[in-house]
């Protein structure tokens, strides 16, 4: 690993579509001394030998080389946050080439998507926008009742990872209090740190924003968390057998019962996976008014069929799994790689390194 450094590398980018010119320019700017090439491949396909053999650094979404073509490869960097889809690939199981992910880069866009949805709902943006289309001023009386702001409101973040932390940062600036939930206990300051990549100027690296921390994987612990009197619940847990249908009728009723009576009913935000919620129970809770609304970037299934009742549930805002997207996605994934090359050069541990023995 002694020769790791940005100079003289042959960096291969494997993706499922052509990269726009502005991205190629951005990549070259970030690695001015590297020889950069790209290969367009179907998702999951192996990288052909003639591309793979030359590369010293691989930046990839789902494509990997065969182990025998990886002799010059000193680092595989995934531009995704996880690599579940690839852990059984021979280059991961039968070589020791370091593998890193882009976990941490999703915080800013998904936090912006989340807060945008909260404010659109609480400040009646759709009403304003419809009035504008009709050239109708409308005026204040239309808005006197029902608008409210976020100051002093409580948000519970179920899954306090890099995304939850940036949501927390913005929520705190809005004057909200943040309550964090994690699977395992975080009793000490060091256990509360974010040890992965953090986009500079964002997040909650030292875990100092939440006013309370909660944990557990059992129903009683989740229910205690949902009983805090939350105005907002943000669902940001990974989908596992344990988190499938983690929240259903009982949980929505609990949330609704515990929020102060003079506040709007709780608002739900799901940026995890559709199956973490019992979607039929969600529709019922929106219809009954137990929940005042929901922002959903994920549904079950995706795409959501045109005749699905979720589309028209009251006060639901649905987007097609796009909350992490943006011009910054690819450049940030490369920032992680660049940071890790600098760390390797200095003999320091890399960020977001996949541990083959642990499987994550």
| Sites of contact with a second copy (CB under 8 A) | 20, 22, 108-109, 111-113, 115-116, 119-120, 122-123, 125-126, 128-129, 131-132, 135-140, 142-152, 169-170, 172-175, 199-202, 262, 302-304, 306-308, 311, 317-322, 325-328
> In the bound complex, what is the minimum distance in angstroms from residue 38's beta carbon to a second copy?
16
Nearer to a second copy, 135 or 358 (CB): 135
Distance of alpha carbon 111 from alpha carbon 157, whole angstroms: 12
Distance of alpha carbon 77 from alpha carbon 298, whole angstroms: 26
Q: Which two tokens stand for residue 258?
A: 């515990």
* Closest among 267, 245, 265 to 257, alpha carbons compared: 265
Neighbours of 228 (CB within 10 A): 19
> In the bound complex, what is the minimum distance in angstroms from residue 5's beta carbon to a second copy?
26
Nearer to a second copy, 189 or 301 (CB): 301
> In the bound complex, what is the minimum distance in angstroms from residue 137's beta carbon to a second copy?
3
> In the bound complex, what is the minimum distance in angstroms from residue 146's beta carbon to a second copy?
8
Query: DSSP label at 205?
Result: T
Query: DSSP label at 277?
Result: B
Peptide bond connecting 28 to the previous residue in cis, omega within 30 degrees of 0: no
> In the bound complex, what is the minimum distance in angstroms from residue 145's beta carbon to a second copy?
7
> In the bound complex, what is the minimum distance in angstroms from residue 148's beta carbon to a second copy?
5
Nearer to a second copy, 50 or 312 (CB): 312
CA torsion 32→35→41→44, rounded to 10°?
Answer: -80
Q: Which two tokens stand for residue 127?
A: 């009403």
Q: Check if the beta carbon of residue 230 is closer than 8 Å to that of residue 255.
A: yes
Residue where the block lists tokens 């256990």: 191
Going through the chain in order, the beta strands assigned E by DSSP cover 10-15, 35-40, 57-60, 75-78, 99-100, 154-158, 177-182, 212-215, 232-235, 267-270, 293-296, 316-318
Nearer to a second copy, 32 or 303 (CB): 303
Nearer to a second copy, 68 or 130 (CB): 130
> In the bound complex, what is the minimum distance in angstroms from residue 228's beta carbon to a second copy?
18
Query: DSSP label at 138?
Result: -
Q: Check if the beta carbon of residue 351 is closer than 8 Å to that of residue 336.
A: yes
> In the bound complex, what is the minimum distance in angstroms from residue 233's beta carbon to a second copy?
19
> In the bound complex, what is the minimum distance in angstroms from residue 170's beta carbon to a second copy?
5
- Binning the chain into helix, strand and coil, the percentages to the nearest 5 are 35, 15, 50
Query: DSSP label at 101?
Result: -
Q: Which two tokens stand for residue 277?
A: 């919620």
> In the bound complex, what is the minimum distance in angstroms from residue 279's beta carbon to a second copy?
15
Nearer to a second copy, 2 or 200 (CB): 200
Nearer to a second copy, 120 or 253 (CB): 120
Nearer to a second copy, 109 or 293 (CB): 109
Nearer to a second copy, 5 or 20 (CB): 20
Distance of alpha carbon 70 from alpha carbon 78, whole angstroms: 16
Q: Is the dihedral of CA 98, 92, 324, 235 positive or negative?
A: negative
Q: Which two tokens stand for residue 314?
A: 């009251």
Nearer to a second copy, 7 or 147 (CB): 147
């Amino acid at each position: 690993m002694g020769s790791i450094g940005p100079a003289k590398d042959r960096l291969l980018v494997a993706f499922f579509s052509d990269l726009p010119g502005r991205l190629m320019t951005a990549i070259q700017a970030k690695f001015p001394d590297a020889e950069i090439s790209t290969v367009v491949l179907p998702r999951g396909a192996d990288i052909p030998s003639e591309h793979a053999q030359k590369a010293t650094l691989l930046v990839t979404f789902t494509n990997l080389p065969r182990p025998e073509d990886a002799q010059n490869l000193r680092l595989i960097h995934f531009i995704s946050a996880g690599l579940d889809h690839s852990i059984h690939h021979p280059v991961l199981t039968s070589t020791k080439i370091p593998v890193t992910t882009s976990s941490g880069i999703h915080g800013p866009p998904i936090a912006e998507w989340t807060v945008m949805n909260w404010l659109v709902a609480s400040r009646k943006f759709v009403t304003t926008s419809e009035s504008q289309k009709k050239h109708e001023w409308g005026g204040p009386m239309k808005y006197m009742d029902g608008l409210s702001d976020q100051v002093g409101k409580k948000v519970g973040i179920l899954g306090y990872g890099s995304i939850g932390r940036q949501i927390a940062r913005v929520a705190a600036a809005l004057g909200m209090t943040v309550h964090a939930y994690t699977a395992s206990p975080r009793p000490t300051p060091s256990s509360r740190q974010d040890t992965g990549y953090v986009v500079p100027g964002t997040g909650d690296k030292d875990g100092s924003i939440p006013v309370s921390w909660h944990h557990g994987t059992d129903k009683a612990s989740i229910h205690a968390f949902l009983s805090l009197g939350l105005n907002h619940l943000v669902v940001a847990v990974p989908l596992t057998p344990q988190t499938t249908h983690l929240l259903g009728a009982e949980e929505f009723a609990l949330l609704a019962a515990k929020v102060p009576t003079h506040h709007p009913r709780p608002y739900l935000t799901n940026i995890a996976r559709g199956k973490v919620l019992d979607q039929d129970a969600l529709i019922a809770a929106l219809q009954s008014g137990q929940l005042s609304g929901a922002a959903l970037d994920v549904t079950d299934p995706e795409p959501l069929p045109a005749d699905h009742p979720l589309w028209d549930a009251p006060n639901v805002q649905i987007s097609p799994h796009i909350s992490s997207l943006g011009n910054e996605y690819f450049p940030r994934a490369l920032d992680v790689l660049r940071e890790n090359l600098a760390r390797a050069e200095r003999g320091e541990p890399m960020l977001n390194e996949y541990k083959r023995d642990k499987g994550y």
